[in-house]
Each structure stands twice: as C-alpha cells, then as structure tokens.
Amino acid sequence: MKSCLPLEMGKANLDVFSETLLGLARANRDVVVVTSDSRGSGKLVPFAKALPKQIIEVGIAEQNLVGVAAGLASAGKIVFAVSPGSFLTARSLEQIKNDVCYSDQPVKLVAISSGVSYGALGSTHHSLHDLAALRALFNCTIVVPADNFETAEAVKAAAEMAHPVFLRFGKRPMPHLHRPGTTFTVGKSLLVREGNDLAFLATGETVVQSVMATDLLAQEGISARVLSMHTIKPLDEEAVVQAAQECGAVITVEEHSCAGGLGEACAAVLMQAGVSVPFRIVGFPDEETVPGTQLEIMAHYGICPEGLAETARTLLNRKRL
C-alpha cells in the first residue's frame, strides 16, 4: 500500500509553468508566447526579459490573443496563448472553437488564475465554466495539473502536441504529490493514494484537498483511494471504471461547476459501462459564488479536507444500507 507521505510544499504551478516554458523557448526559437495583459500576473516577466523577441503582448484583447496565436501556429510556431481563465474561455470561446479547434491549429491555450483563484473579485473573475465549455468542443485536449511535477510534464507534453490543448492553472503554492520516477502521460490518471473503501477522483488543486481528507479518514479506519484525473479530455475511462468496481463508492472533486465538468464526465462513463455505485459530485452549485479567499470559497462548498471527509462518511453510510 502506498504510504501517506507528509506533503512537502513546492511552488505555485504557474511559476513552474513559466520556468518550464522559458527552458523550452531557450532551446527552440520557434516557441513563442502570446499573452493578454498577463506579463506580471502570469509570471512572464522573466520570460519577457530573457526572450523579448519570443513574446507578444496584445493587451486586454482576448479574442485577438487567440486569433494571433492561431495565425502563428499555422506558420509553424509552437504557441502558448496565456490569459486569465475566466476571460480566455468566455470572451474568446468563438475564436477557440473556429480558429483553433475547428481549424486544427496546435495552439497551447493556457488559463491562469483559474477556478476561484481570484477569490474576492467575485463571479466575474471566477472560471467555473471552462471545462464544460471546452469539453463540448471537439479536437481539444484538456489538462488540469495537480502539482509541480504534473505541471512541468504537461507543459513539455503540450509543446510536442500537434493538436489544440488547454492547460489550466491556479495561483497557490502546491505540495509535491508524486514519488520520484512517476511517469506522466496525457490521458492517463495518476494514483496518489491507495484505498479500497471509496475513491476520490479529483483534478487540479482539489487533489491535495482529497489527499488530506484521506488522512482524516484513515484515522477512522477508512481506506480511501485518490486519483489525480489531470486529463479531463480524453478522460481515463478505464481508471474511472476500475476505481468504482474496486472501491464501490466514488466522489469526484473539482474547482468547477458541478454542471459539465469532471463529475458529469465520470458519471456518464459509469452509467454507460453499467457500473452502479454510490456516487457524489463535489464542486460548485448553480449559484453566484460567495465572496472570500480561494480556500474560504472552496471550504464553503465542501472542497476541503473536513468537507470531503464528511461527504465520504455520508456516502459510505449509504453504501452500507
């Protein structure tokens, strides 16, 4: 059984993204960044200072951002289009649909400060719709890394991809979740904790919340599995079905609306596979998000160790009935 290692804190995934991207760009002049008013907030200042000819700032013009990125990609450049998630996937959805996905341009769409990272700035700045919107577009891989390792590997994998890809990052420092030697593959989930009583299928910054919940549950003799579902599309359907069959209860966790995200994707997989288990989606309900910091908002909706542990207890009680 994989031991519950203490969580060692690392950097914010966004910092790791920027550092990895700079390394790729230094090695290959065709790697370019297009950004919309995000040099500072996007941690791209070092990139701009080191490689000023490989970064384009379009200003507060997200639709132009995607159009310019698609044009550069069509000319053979390896393009990372960086913008706050709430604006990238709302203001530019038509351009993502037509200029990138339908035109099959291998743009790497990078959403920064996603989910409720902007905290008290409120629902206008919260990105809780993006996974649902992009899942509905064909030809778009969606990756939401959970820690620094997944982030670095996802950026390197995205640079090599010949089709559109969407990378989603938050702002907080993240703990290291994986052992040395772990292999990252787009489309294949990663086991973070072993367990057989129930399974947490989590993505992005909710994975660590799920891990901490398993530590609380372990004190009560409850064995909980945690999978990092870093790729939302294509989803690791085999792992979803296996977790349900082996654990008999499933909780999905996401910093996203309960509508159209990881939870509904997993539910569809299980229903179509004919696997019936106690199941719960933990995410954001259909309402305006409450004010507060990112962690305060997440805790309000039960996306915290204590909240997830309570959801697990409730689901296990249902399982025993």
Catalytic residue set: 62
**Other CB atoms within 10 A of residue 5 CB:** 13
Q: What phi and psi values does residue 176 have, to the nearest 5 degrees?
A: -80, 125
Q: Which residues, other chains included, contact 35 with Cβ-Cβ below 8 Å and sequence gap of 6+? A: 42, 44, 55, 56, 57, 58, 65, 81, 82, 83
| Whole-angstrom distance, CA of residue 186 vs CA of residue 143 | 8
Cα three-residue angle 224-117-310, rounded to 5 degrees? 30
Tell me the pairing of strands 190-193 and 224-228: antiparallel
**Other CB atoms within 10 A of residue 192 CB:** 23
Q: What phi and psi values does residue 216 have, to the nearest 5 degrees?
A: -65, -45
* Region label for 268, one of left (φ > 0), alpha (ψ between -120 and 50) or beta (otherwise): alpha
Percentage helix, strand, coil for the chain under 3-state DSSP, each rounded to 5: 40, 20, 35
| Whole-angstrom distance, CA of residue 51 vs CA of residue 26 | 8
| 60 touches 36 (CB < 8 A) | yes
Reference 123, options 293, 288, 313, 303; nearest CA is 288
